Structure 1
Amino acid sequence: MSLGLSQKELAEKAGIHPQSVGKMERGQTTRLKQKPKSGLAHALGISVEYLDAVCQGRTVEEIAVLKFCPQCWVPGTSPDPMWTTPRSKHCFACGSKLQDRCSGCHEPIASLKFRFCPYCGKSYKGGGSE
């Protein structure tokens, strides 16, 4: 997947130092702190979990988008594997439409480790920022 970004552009979009991008490309960085990791995942349009798996050299199952059921998902837990299959559009348990974007700012869901969108602060399960 080519985004056509230079190291400098990617670094700016991710909020990290350009030298860090170069070190990652050369394989000199295998661990990232949460803030740069989230920024990089956002800049690349991928989930933090996907980025973690790639950095650790684990096999990654193809997941089109990180999705969850707004009725059944418990904040802080991993999404049910049935929700993340590319063809899934509705929850298999309750029939609710699955969410793949924040309802506040419409950014893709970057991680379900937390209850709130890291970009606008809105709760993924409804309600506003708290």
Structure 2
Amino acid sequence: MYIIDSSKTPKPEETVGEYLRRLRESANISQQDLAEAAGIHLQSLGKLERGLTKRLNSKTKKGLAIALNIPEEFLEAVLNGKSVEGVIQKQFCPRCWKGGTTPDPVWTLSRAKYCLICGNVLLNSCQKCQEPLMSFKHKFCPNCGTPYTKKNK
């Protein structure tokens, strides 16, 4: 399961350089160590942290996301000046999710369409009345009473 630490969430108005520096320093690693772990040049990381580079190619994004243990969507949000709420959706796997519990964080990413555990399509509303999921605290739809999840056989 992929766990997202809330301290790794980008702050509003934070630049990509500030964000990367904050994560690197909170992990207590040097620029050299982060660059090696991400598979990028030390000079490239230095330019990013100083704000001299404002774009990332897919290899750099993927490497930094893995090295810092964050979803690539967080880097996308910072680069595009969007809030993380724009990349996180309320969606769940009707087979794997246990209603009333915190869902797998990977399910809530905007580009997630299928459950990585069982392959089911992720849902964001009640299967019966199509009322949107408003909270992960409930096991049943507050509109019609239908359980959000299917029983495993």
Task: Give the C-alpha shift of residue 61 in structure 1.
Answer: 2.5
Partner of 2:96: 96
What secondary structure, in the 3-state scheme, does the structure 1 residue paired with 2:85 have?
A: coil
Whose helix proportion is higher, 1 or 2?
Answer: 2
Equivalent residue letter for 1:8 = Q
What secondary structure, in the 3-state scheme, does the structure 2 residue paired with 1:51 have?
A: helix
Structure 1 unaligned segments of length 5 or more: list them: 67-80, 84-89, 102-109, 116-123
CA distance in 2, matches of 1:54, 1:36: 14
TM-score (ref. length: structure 2): 0.46
Q: Is the 8 A contact 1:11 1:18 kept in 2?
A: yes
Where has structure 1 moved over 6 Å in runs of 4 or more? none
Structure 2 unaligned segments of length 5 or more: list them: 1-22, 98-102, 120-153
Task: Give the C-alpha shift of residue 57 in structure 1.
Answer: 2.2
Partner of 1:39: 63
- The aligned runs of 1:5-44 (5 Å cut-off) are 5-44=29-68
Q: Is the 8 A contact 1:37 1:48 kept in 2?
A: yes
Does residue 51 of structure 1 match 2:83? Answer: no
Identity of aligned residues (%): 44
1:4-23 alpha-carbon deviations (Å, 9 max, x no partner): 11110000010000001100
Task: Give the C-alpha shift of residue 55 in structure 1.
Answer: 2.0
Q: Give 1 or 2 for the bigger CA radius of gyration.
A: 2
- The aligned runs of 1:102-113 (5 Å cut-off) are 112=111
Question: Do the aligned partners of residues 59 and 37 (structure 1) sit closer, same or farther apart at CA in structure 2, a change above 3 Å counting?
Answer: same
Q: More relative contact order in 1 or in 2 (CA 8 Å, sep 6+)?
A: 2
Question: Do the aligned partners of residues 113 and 56 (structure 1) sit closer, same or farther apart at CA in structure 2, a change above 3 Å counting?
Answer: same
What secondary structure, in the 3-state scheme, does the structure 1 residue paired with 2:84 have?
A: coil
Partner of 1:82: 90
TM-score (ref. length: structure 1): 0.53
Equivalent residue letter for 1:34 = S
Question: Do the aligned partners of residues 114 and 28 (structure 1) sit closer, same or farther apart at CA in structure 2, a change above 3 Å counting?
Answer: farther
